[in-house]
Amino acid sequence: MKQVAIMNAATLTILFDNYAGLPGLQTLWGFAALIRTSTRTILFDTGSNGRVLLKNMQVLGIDPREIDTVFLSHTHWDHIGGVDSILELNPNVTLVLHEGFSKHLINDLRRLCRTLIVVGAEPYELAPGIYSTGMLAADPPEHALILEVNARLALIGGCSHPGIAQLVEQSQVFVNKPVRWAIGGFHLMYSDDAAITAAIAQLQALGVSEVAATHCTGDAARIAFRAAYGAGFIEGGVGRTIELC
């Protein structure tokens, strides 16, 4: 278990989402976010379309060459569709995925980046204060990103196919610190009211005090999270920046 907090602040900017945020940016189905810490610039997922991802980055003044790590949460097209566009412009990145990806895709990507890390089922430290949850079973399997900020954790998920509460629990057990933020797609778009209510109750029971529920969370679930969390609900959408401090 990790015991020492080493990060005072980080920022997360949503680059790709099916929800609108700032004007002048294009929405499409999918998710990507840029995370800046004191030591790393991480692209979390790449959306469904590389051209749209790069255009949104250009509007936001983000140069693909400043990225040092690309983290892919799972194999669905709406999260890996832009990876070729990023690697073409910046092959000097460390690419992080998990062993649930196709072996053929892993072998191809290995030749297109500087370093490839394939995470297994166990949580994995990528850098001080930055971790993978490890691959959790789901359809498809998925891992999420953990940031340790001021003795609290931020959990960033792509679609949270294993369940957002399960990802939060995995994070807290590994790092032995509470999760303050849960960010990303919660995959509740096909869930009924009872399942949405249960998901909210689980996160609140786990101590999550701020949520940015976007992408595949679904409109009904977003409305419910907004009502349940009040000031702790962070609006998502393309271009929005979340300060983690």
State the pTM of this model: 0.96
Here the CATH number for the domain that contains residue 69 is 3.60.15.10
What mean pLDDT is predicted for residues 198-219? Answer: 98
pLDDT tens digits, one per residue of 129-168: 999 999 999 999 999 999 999 999 999 999 999 999 999 9
User: Is 5 a member of any domain?
Assistant: no
Query: How many whole angstroms separate alpha carbon 237 and alpha carbon 230?
Result: 18
User: Is 151 a member of any domain?
Assistant: yes
User: Is 2 a member of any domain?
Assistant: no
Which two structure tokens, joined as six digits, stand for 85? 């566009």
- Identify the pLDDT of residue 237: 97
The chain-wide mean pLDDT, for the chain, equals 96
- Tokens 């996160």 belong to residue: 203
- Identify the pLDDT of residue 8: 86
Report how far apart, in Å, the C-alpha atoms of 126 and of each of 100, 177, 207 are: 18, 17, 25
What mean pLDDT is predicted for residues 50-69? Answer: 98
What mean pLDDT is predicted for residues 159-186? Answer: 97
Give the Cα-Cα-Cα angle 176, 186, 79 (nearest 5 degrees).
100
- Identify the pLDDT of residue 70: 98
What are the φ and ψ backbone dihedral angles of 113, each rounded to 5 degrees? -130, 170
Q: How many helices (H) and strands (E) does the chain have?
A: 7, 13
Domain count, the chain: 1
User: Is 148 a member of any domain?
Assistant: yes
pLDDT tens digits, one per residue of 102-121: 999 999 999 999 999 999 99
38 by Cβ neighbours in 10 Å (0-12 / 13-18 / 19+) ranks as: exposed
Query: Is pLDDT of 4 > 60?
Result: no
- What residue numbers bound the domain in which 71 lies? 10-244
